[in-house]
Structure 1
Amino acid sequence: MLVAGPVAALFAACFSFLPVAVALTLAQLTEGAGQLGGATRAGLAGWLLAHGVPLGTSLGPLGLAPLAVGVFAAWRVSRAGVHTSRAYGIAHRGNPVEAAKVAGTVGLGYAVVGAAAALLAAKPGLEVSALRAFLQLLVFGTLAALVGALRVTGALRVTAVRMPPVLRDGIRTGVVGAVLVLGTGAAVAGLSVALSGGEAGDVLGAYHTGVAGQVGITLICLAYAPNAAIWATAYLLGPGFAVGVDTTVRTTEVDVGTLLPLPLVAGIPDGPVGGLGALLLAIPLVAGMIAGWLLARRVLRLRAGDAHGRHRSWGSLVGAAAVGGPVAGLLLGAAALCSRGPVGGPRLAEMGPVPWQVALAGALVVTVGATVGAAATRALAGP
């Protein structure tokens, strides 16, 4: 029983490492280049980078995490929290303390795996701190496992039931609003890359790595696709993002230097938004309105049959929208923080959006959108 957490953490680490290893192995299959051992070591370094562990290279620090791998790893560790909770026999007990103990056990095992990976990945020209890896993966593993443990034990549901309705609805609205706004960013980023497909293909073809190598490079770009989605979200919200020191990519100004030679960067706009393209800026507001519409539907359904339902539903709507906006802002700011980082060298020391600017803009947009959407839905519903 005591080894269930570390074993689950080990399996979660192995599953989340495989995509990185495959991508980097394929990327290194060039003519006379890259051996399997080197690709495996690079895969370990890339896996640690996905968890936010910075790498020291000969060109400078590398800290831009491939978020697709990080999200996949978080899901696997969350499942480890579920399996460990069941192994300990605490499923459906609704006890948050027991869920926290399970999360700590899984997180500790995950941290040990991370420290071992750091020791194996380090080599001349590539510095990885084992202590930093241990601490980073301890926090990462504990939080991810806690999500799974809280769900399977029922503690999350118990905690939600005990919350004031306005707070509970506000948190739900904020989460939904943040997800919808990020979804708009993902859609715009995908559309931009698709419209620049010819340029992206030219960049990919310039590598001369053969089919296997190009597949690996494509997989690496896919690993950074969530980063691109978050950057596009920051672009739509207004703050924009940087692709290097003293560079700016926002709707009103685009000032970039030499970009990284990756197909993904082909989607970066080459000038300010104009004409019908300006309509894209209203998409995050529409996403906030949809979150407000969903909030109003839920509140009206729960208040149905109550003699005082009309007054209480108006108060609940306004209060939940007021809570939901800042919650969405915090989530969007956290996403922006996770999506940024240096890419070696002083010129590329700043990559990504400024978190507090994204948080502020996201909170404002979701608050206004959710309030308008919820109020309009409530008004159309009648007394």
Structure 2
Amino acid sequence: MAGVIQMTARRSSLSLVLARSRNRMRDRSPGLAAGLFAGVLAAGLGLGSFAVVVMGLWISSPYPDSGPGGALHVAAALWLLAHGVELVRADTLSGVPAPLGVTPLLLLALPVWLLHRAARDAVDGEEGAPLVSARTAWAGVVLGYLAVAAAVAGYAAGGALRPSWIGAGVSLPAVVVAAAGMGAWTAYGRPRRPVERVLALLPRALRRLLTGVEGRERVGVAVRAAGAGAAVLVGGGALLVAVSSVWHLGAARGAFLQLTEGWSGRFAVLLLCAVLVPNAAVWGAAYAVGPGFVLGVGHVVAPSASDPAPMLPPFPLLAAVPEAGAGGGLNWAAGVVALLAGAAVGMFVARGAVRGGAGVWSWKRTVGVVGLAGLVCAVGFAVLGGMAGGPLGAGTLARFGPVGWQVGAAVGAWMVGVGVPVGLALRRWWGRGAVTAATASVPVPVPAPAPAVAPASTPGSDAEPYDFEREEGADTP
């Protein structure tokens, strides 16, 4: 009888576990399905946008090279290129496949925004329903998007521009995973726990500096300072490109007219220049910090000197490249952009040092935060520099644009080298004013008056009337 009761209890507990598992799967399946649908929809919207633009240019072209199938293959290839996938052109005159690896950064912004929005909406779920698990929504969006991407890569492989399978298997999933993860993290209000799990992988000494209340304050100030420095670098690089384009306006106009004659072709060239403006801004920033960029193997363009460039295709943005030869005063003046970026990093760190919750930071802590901001900015520009450049063909054009690690190292050196003295000087100046204001605002303690001691009462004094009757009664037996 006891064995029967024990077996029955085990069966009931097992049934309860299975029921709970079924309920969990049933509760999660709508969230996973919504994530899959959101990922497919995001990929479809991005791909449809590329297809509409390419088909519009094909229809308006007076001499199309291929039919609508070729235009759709080009649209699929450009969509993959926007995710950082390198393309390969097989039908060249020399017979050698020519790679194309320069990612238009403006085109990259569209799939990143669509993925971010899709993951955020998948977490929110239906109106009035509880939030979907971040992992479930993220996994659904990633799987749905990658399913469409795999089909697009297979379709584009049959066209003139074929995707590199290494890039399709590394760059595209990395973009999808990162953008969808940021969207899910934003939907939950940017919680600290996922960040702390990532920081747990760091060494203990470094983890102590980045965790806790003070660590989060350091990281926040460093990220804002790095963002300010990066914004100054990108804006300054864009300004350098604009000034150089105006300086070489005749060459840019000649290149523009040489490429095409019809209005549809000119519109296509203008559209291509527009999507490459962020790339040109990164190139300008790389020129300002020192390493410059490469216009073919062995041809470096930098403020110190510019090597003679090989035979480049006529393109308006390439007309802004400085002339070959040793750099002059105008070339070295581009370093002002790097100085301003480093000063911006130091100013933001000094502002955080003065406004800290525990008073003015020490000089060691200020220097450490400037170093952290320089590291963040350096890593960001190393990635941007690597994506803004790449191969444009075989042979000499196998290297084209900034070299990522060189640009990152130079940016980090400028941010720390300029940011440290500026941050310490502003911390000392602003900190003195903060201490003075704090001292003036603290009320001076006033000592409380001592309590008055009543004098001893004597008969006949005015302090207290003397009770003669009580005194006489005391003598009375």
- TM-aligned CA distance change 1:250 to 1:22, over 3 Å: farther
- Tell me the residue number matched to 2:10: none
CA distance in 2, matches of 1:247, 1:276: 20
CA distance in 2, matches of 1:185, 1:366: 16
1:19-38 alignment runs, 5 A limit = 20-25=50-55, 27-28=57-58, 29-34=60-65, 35-38=67-70
Q: Tell me, yes or no, if the aligned pair for 2:304 and 2:332 is still in contact at 8 Å.
A: no
After TM superposition, give the deviation of residue 208 of structure 1 in Å. Answer: 2.9
- Tell me the residue number matched to 2:369: 320
- CA-to-partner distance for each residue in 1:56-104, whole Å, 9 max, x for gaps? 21241121111110122212211111111111799998x9xx4344333
- Tell me the residue number matched to 2:242: 190
Pick the aligned partner of 2:45 from 5, 8, 15: 15
State the one-letter code of the partner of 2:351.
Answer: R
SS state at 2:301 partner? strand
- Establish whether residue 286 from structure 1 lines up as the match of residue 340 from structure 2: yes
After TM superposition, give the deviation of residue 123 of structure 1 in Å. Answer: 2.2
Higher relative contact order (CA 8 A, sep 6+): 1
CA distance in 2, matches of 1:225, 1:263: 11
Identical-pair percentage:
31
- CA-to-partner distance for each residue in 1:123-168, whole Å, 9 max, x for gaps? 2543235685355432211100111211120234564885613234
1:255-294 alignment runs, 5 A limit = 255=307, 256-271=309-324, 272-294=326-348
Pick the aligned partner of 2:277 from 192, 207, 225: 225
Q: How many residues align?
A: 375
- TM-aligned CA distance change 1:91 to 1:241, over 3 Å: farther
After TM superposition, give the deviation of residue 183 of structure 1 in Å. Answer: 2.3
- Establish whether residue 368 from structure 1 lines up as the match of residue 417 from structure 2: yes
SS state at 1:61 partner? strand
Q: Tell me, yes or no, if the aligned pair for 1:23 and 1:219 is still in contact at 8 Å.
A: no
Q: Which has the larger radius of gyration?
A: 2
- CA-to-partner distance for each residue in 1:22-80, whole Å, 9 max, x for gaps? 55445544332244332222011011011111222124112111111012221221111
1:353-364 alignment runs, 5 A limit = 353-364=402-413
- TM-aligned CA distance change 1:22 to 1:284, over 3 Å: farther
SS state at 2:158 partner? coil
After TM superposition, give the deviation of residue 273 of structure 1 in Å. Answer: 3.4
- Tell me the residue number matched to 2:72: 40
SS state at 1:187 partner? helix
SS state at 2:395 partner? coil
After TM superposition, give the deviation of residue 13 of structure 1 in Å. Answer: 2.3
CA distance in 2, matches of 1:287, 1:152: 32
CA distance in 2, matches of 1:293, 1:185: 20
After TM superposition, give the deviation of residue 352 of structure 1 in Å. Answer: 1.4
- Tell me the residue number matched to 1:123: 158
- Tell me the residue number matched to 2:233: 181
State the one-letter code of the partner of 1:11.
Answer: L
1:1-383 alignment runs, 5 A limit = 1=30, 2-18=32-48, 20-25=50-55, 27-28=57-58, 29-34=60-65, 35-58=67-90, 59=92, 60-87=98-125, 98-123=133-158, 125-128=160-163, 132-133=167-168, 135-156=170-191, 159=195, 162=212, 164=215, 165-255=217-307, 256-271=309-324, 272-303=326-357, 309-310=359-360, 312-381=361-430, 382=432, 383=435
After TM superposition, give the deviation of residue 237 of structure 1 in Å. Answer: 0.8
Q: Tell me, yes or no, if the aligned pair for 1:334 and 1:355 is still in contact at 8 Å.
A: yes
CA distance in 1, matches of 2:253, 2:418: 38
- Tell me the residue number matched to 2:8: none
- Report the RMSD for the aligned CA atoms in angstroms: 2.7
SS state at 2:121 partner? helix
CA distance in 2, matches of 1:289, 1:135: 37
State the one-letter code of the partner of 2:43.
Answer: A
Q: Tell me, yes or no, if the aligned pair for 1:118 and 1:128 is still in contact at 8 Å.
A: yes
What stretches of structure 2 of length at least 5 have no aligned partner?
A: 1-29, 93-97, 197-210, 436-477
Larger displacement relative to structure 2 (312-321 or 72-81):
312-321
- CA-to-partner distance for each residue in 1:325-368, whole Å, 9 max, x for gaps? 11111111111111121112222111112211111111110112
Q: Tell me, yes or no, if the aligned pair for 2:303 and 2:331 is still in contact at 8 Å.
A: no
Q: Tell me, yes or no, if the aligned pair for 2:304 and 2:331 is still in contact at 8 Å.
A: no
After TM superposition, give the deviation of residue 187 of structure 1 in Å. Answer: 2.1
What stretches of structure 1 of length at least 5 have no aligned partner?
A: none
- CA-to-partner distance for each residue in 1:160-183, whole Å, 9 max, x for gaps? 885613234223322332232222
Q: State TM-score, norm by structure 1.
A: 0.88
- TM-aligned CA distance change 1:197 to 1:7, over 3 Å: farther
Q: Tell me, yes or no, if the aligned pair for 1:10 and 1:113 is still in contact at 8 Å.
A: yes
- TM-aligned CA distance change 1:131 to 1:119, over 3 Å: farther
State the one-letter code of the partner of 2:71.
Answer: A
CA distance in 2, matches of 1:147, 1:209: 44
- TM-aligned CA distance change 1:296 to 1:168, over 3 Å: same
- TM-aligned CA distance change 1:317 to 1:219, over 3 Å: same
Q: Tell me, yes or no, if the aligned pair for 1:107 and 1:137 is still in contact at 8 Å.
A: no
Larger displacement relative to structure 2 (44-53 or 16-25):
16-25
CA distance in 2, matches of 1:364, 1:175: 16
CA distance in 2, matches of 1:90, 1:245: 59
- TM-aligned CA distance change 1:254 to 1:132, over 3 Å: closer
Q: Tell me, yes or no, if the aligned pair for 2:83 and 2:103 is still in contact at 8 Å.
A: yes
- TM-aligned CA distance change 1:74 to 1:30, over 3 Å: same
